[in-house]
Homo-oligomer: A and B are copies of this chain.
Amino acid sequence: MNFNIIRAARAVLHVTDLEASRKFYVDTLGFVVTESNDNHLYLRGLEEQSHHSLLLKKAAEPALEVLSYRVFSESDLDVLAEFFTDKGLKTKWLEAGTQKAVGRALRVEDISGLPLEFYAKMDTVERLLQRYDLYKGAKVQRIDHFNCMVTNVEKAYDFYIKELGFACSEYTASEGDRIWAAWLHRKPSVHDVAFMNGKGPCLHHIGFWLSDPMSLIHACDVLAASGYTDSMERGPGRHGLSNAFFLYLRDPDGHRIELYNGDYLTSDPDFNPIRWDINDKRRQTFWGHEAPDSWFNETSTVLDVEGEKAVPASEPTLKQHKPTFII
């Protein structure tokens, strides 16, 4: 690889009611609003200097427009454009100024049909890490990772590991030792992106980092007191895979958000990816709770590289395994 992808950096979601989104993300979960207008809500976590890590756009239908990765330099973008073009995958340039606060951006369709974006620059704003007087709800600190359902996890795994330079921290092996799900990272954490076998390409969830486990417990209480009991889909619990303390939420448009605290350092090149057998009892959450069906079956539609049409979802390569995988 002659490019350097730093980390999962932002997601752009289409939502149908910005006021409902604001009540959920800002008033209840405690995201910071960097700025907003009638059609956009630019959100960030308390420690983030980047202008935003979650952009909500008003639209007729809920969807994922794009998953964005930060790269090290402008030249990385050119190399990436050439790479994706060579692979026969669709690309599209968005010049600096096209998107608020974002530098020149390369949008592409990845090997699974997922809409990705790469950029090297985003405007910086005040880091509010020590403005504890502004903390509320889940006290969301920063974006952490994306989780996607794809029809062929092994193909995605090979593409991200061998072509894009990701490393694998943990994976689930299915019949015949096929990779059924995989957690991949660029920054030295458990993941920047995970792929699970399922109807896809679809977005399963976006994970946000919390500072400590009690913030997650408090978030549950605040959500319940604010009328969001039905939004609390799964957890709190401990993931066997990744070891994180987690809570899954559904936003007002059904997009799934994970509140997440607790993974570990994966910086060393001899880190051995942890293998979980799909029939291992520990596939379930570490404390033994099963995931609800909705967690397994429901995902967000993704848009094509033009950000216009929904990409149709196909059936997966491997057999489904009802809520028996982890994370």
Contacts and interface: CB of A to CB of B under 8 A. Distances in A.
A141 interface: yes
Contact of A133 (B6, B28, B288): B28
B129 A243 contact: yes
A33 interface: no
Interface in A268-327: 268-272, 274, 281, 284, 286-288
A141 B211 CA distance: 16
A214 B211 contact: no
Contacts of A286: 130, 221, 224, 229
Interface in A225-257: 225-226, 229-230, 232, 236, 238, 240, 243, 245
Given A212-B213, A212-B214, A129 B7 contact: no
Contacts of A236: 236
Interface string A1-13: 0000011000000
A72 interface: yes
Interface stretch (A105-113, A172-180, A193-201, A259-267): A259-267
B212 A132 contact: no
A188 interface: yes
A121 interface: yes
A6 B225 contact: no
B268 A132 contact: no
Nearest to A139: B218
A222 interface: yes
A232 B188 CA distance: 32
Contacts of A85: none
Contact of A226 (B7, B133, B230, B245): B133
A225 B187 contact: no
A281 B229 contact: yes
A49 interface: yes
Contacts of A28: 133
A261 B262 CA distance: 11
A142 to B, nearest CB: 6
A159 interface: no
A44 interface: no
Contacts of A262: 211-212
B272 A124 contact: yes
Nearest to A239: B130
A127 B70 CA distance: 31
12 contacts: A73-B269, A127-B274, A129-B243, A129-B264, A130-B286, A131-B225, A132-B226, A141-B264, A142-B264, A212-B262, A221-B238, A223-B287
Interface of A: 6-7, 28, 47, 49-50, 70, 72-73, 121, 124, 127, 129-136, 141-142, 187-188, 211-214, 217-218, 220-226, 229-230, 232, 236, 238, 240, 243, 245, 261-262, 264-265, 267-272, 274, 281, 284, 286-288
Given A49-B271, A129-B243, A142-B264, 10 more contacts: A6-B267, A7-B265, A72-B269, A130-B225, A131-B225, A132-B225, A188-B188, A212-B212, A229-B287, A236-B236
